[in-house]
Amino acid sequence: MDWNDQNWQIGWYAHLNIKETLNTRLLNSYYEAAASIFEPERCNERVAWAKTNVIVNTITSFFSRPHLSNTGIQAFTYEFTNTQHREKNGKPWNGMMDALYETLNEISLNTRVAYGIDIYPHLHNIWKVWLLNLQNGVDKVEGEAELIVKTINLCSSQGLLDESFSHPQYQHLSSIINDLCHQIYQKGNRSISFEIESKMQELVQLVLCDSPDDLDTTSKQTFLMVAKTFYYRALFDPETIKEHIGKVLFKNVI
| DSSP conformational letter for 253 | P
In a domain, 132, yes or no: yes
In a domain, 156, yes or no: yes
Cβ–Cβ under 8 Å, residues 38 and 71: no
* pLDDT band (50, 70, 90) for residue 3: very low
Q: Identify whether 4 is part of a domain.
A: no
The amino acid present at 129, given as its one-letter code, is: V
Amino acid in the structure at residue 169: Q
90 occurs within a structural domain = yes
Residue pair 225/239 in contact (Cβ under 8 Å)? The answer is no
Distance CA 167, CA 119 (A): 18
**Could you tell me the CATH number of the domain that includes residue 54?**
1.10.600.10
Q: Look up residue 254 and give its DSSP letter.
A: -
Query: For residue 118, what pLDDT is reported?
Result: 92
| Residue 72 confidence (pLDDT) above 90 | no
Range 105-122 average pLDDT: 93
Residue 6, in any domain of the structure: no
Q: pLDDT confidence of 191, banded at 50, 70, 90?
A: low
Least confident interval from 59-68, 93-102, 122-131, 201-210: 59-68
pLDDT exceeds 80 at position 1: no
Residue 45 domain boundaries: 21-250
**DSSP E strand boundaries for the chain:** none
- Rounded to a whole number of angstroms, the distance between the first and last alpha carbons of the chain is 14
Q: Does residue 10 lie within any of the structural domains?
A: no
Tell me if 13 is assigned to some domain.
no
List Cβ neighbours of 162 (8 Å cut-off, separation of 6 or more): 122, 125
Alpha carbon distance 69, 74 (integer Å): 9
- Residue 2's pLDDT band, with cuts at 50, 70 and 90, is low
Within 8 A by CB and 6+ apart from 17, the residues are 95, 99
Residues 9 and 1: beta-carbon distance below 8 Å? no
DSSP string for residues in 118-177: --HHHHHHHHHHHHHHHHTT--HHHHHHHHHHHHHHHHSTT---HHHHTSHHHHHHHHHH
Side chain identity, residue 200: M
Mean pLDDT value across the chain: 83
**Tens digit of pLDDT for each residue in 199-253?**
999 999 999 888 767 788 888 999 999 999 998 988 888 899 989 988 877 776 5
In a domain? residue 7 = no
Computed from CA positions of residues 40, 226, 60, 117, in that sequence, does the dihedral angle turn out positive or negative? positive
How many structural domains compose the chain? 1
Query: Cα(217)–Cα(253) distance, rounded to whole angstroms?
Result: 31
Condensed to tens digits (0 to 9), the pLDDT of residues 23-46 reads 557 788 888 998 999 888 899 999
Distance between CA atoms of 202 and 14, rounded to whole angstroms? 40
pLDDT of residue 109: 95
